[in-house]
Amino acid sequence: MKTIVDVENLCKNFEDTQVLNNINFKVVEGEFIAIMGQSGSGKSTLLYSISGMDRPTSGNVLFCGKDISKLDDEKMSEVRLMQMGFIFQHSYLLKNLSIRDNIILPGFKSGKLSREQVNQNAEALMVKTGIASVADHDIKMVSGGQLQRAAVCRALINQPDILFGDEPTGALNSSTTREVMDIINAVNTEGTTVIIVTHDAKVAARADRVIFLMDGNIHDELKLGKYDGDEKKKSYREKSLYEWLEKQGF
Ligand code: ADP
Ligand code: MG
């Protein structure tokens, strides 16, 4: 199993406050990790530090064997655009552009794939996520669930090695959450590594491994193994996760 993310002695301070306190962990290719913890425990800061959106104060972040914590801003943006995909609580799609154009834009910007490949990839992603019928719609004309599915397509347009999400279902209702998570699980099954922050145990129960952060430290982790969509196993996973979270005082 090849390591894709290797975090070594990661510390992050904001002025005098130490927000991440010597974090060490590895993620192997194809893994799906969920990061949980109380509000303010450092989940977003950890995600941003390992995805090059923010720089660690000290420590190393190896991504595909390369230390990205020392890259200059330009090189870092290139790694993010070419190899990483991001989803947030809100879709941050551009107004006055259609759903399709929002999805295609980072594909044209990166130049990783030919324009034809980008177009084909966009169509395939929209079909897969069930938004092909609204491809030409303005973003103001579609539902919140459709917007978030479009955000997933946009994150995947450059066929990234890893997909990061910070509370990607945080603004969705439970049925839309399930739909978006089915898509994320399918993307993971096809081989894309996934790391998401969530406060929703039902979402985290779909991950291979759950990491619990407390005061900027990894307090504990729970291995659940690959999720296969089986409803019975799903309730068992959720039950084990609830029990474990209770032990963490969550
Ligand atoms: P979580 O995502 O777990 O809720 P965050 O990573 O957002 O937590 O924040 C962890 C701590 O770091 C909080 O106390 C927060 O106030 C602080 N923090 C986060 N970002 C900044 C920043 N840009 N400047 C100063 N403090 C910050
Ligand atoms: Mg956060």
45 CA: nearest ligand 1 atom: 6
pLDDT average, residue stretch 101-120: 97
List phi, psi (to 5°) of 249: 80, 25
Whole-number pLDDT of residue 31: 98
Residues in the chain: 250
Encode pLDDT of 197-207 as tens digits: 999 999 999 99
| Ranges of each domain in the chain | 3-247
Encode pLDDT of 38-75 as tens digits: 999 999 999 999 999 999 999 999 999 999 998 999 99
pLDDT average, residue stretch 211-218: 97
Encode pLDDT of 225-247 as tens digits: 999 989 999 999 999 999 999 99
The protein residue with its alpha carbon nearest to ligand 1, atom 26, reads 14
Distance CA 140, CA 137 (A): 8
Q: What is the mean pLDDT of the chain?
A: 96
Encode pLDDT of 178-193 as tens digits: 999 999 999 999 999 9
The protein residue with its alpha carbon nearest to ligand 1, atom 5, reads 42
Whole-number pLDDT of residue 1: 87
Encode pLDDT of 14-39 as tens digits: 999 999 999 999 999 999 999 999 99
For the full predicted model, state whether its pTM sits above 0.95: yes
pLDDT cut 90: percent of the chain above it: 98
Ligand nearest to the CA of 43: 1
Distance CA 125, CA 153 (A): 6
37 CA: nearest ligand 1 atom: 3
CB of 16 sitting under 6 A from ligand 1: no
**How far is the centre of ligand 2, averaged over its atoms, from the C-alpha of 54 (Å)?**
14
CB of 96 sitting under 6 A from ligand 1: no
Whole-number pLDDT of residue 103: 98
CB of 37 sitting under 6 A from ligand 1: yes
CB of 12 sitting under 6 A from ligand 1: no
> Does the structure show a pLDDT above 90 at 152?
yes
For domain 3-247, the question of CATH label 3.40.50.300 is answered with: yes
> Does the structure show a pLDDT above 90 at 165?
yes
The protein residue with its alpha carbon nearest to ligand 1, atom 13, reads 40
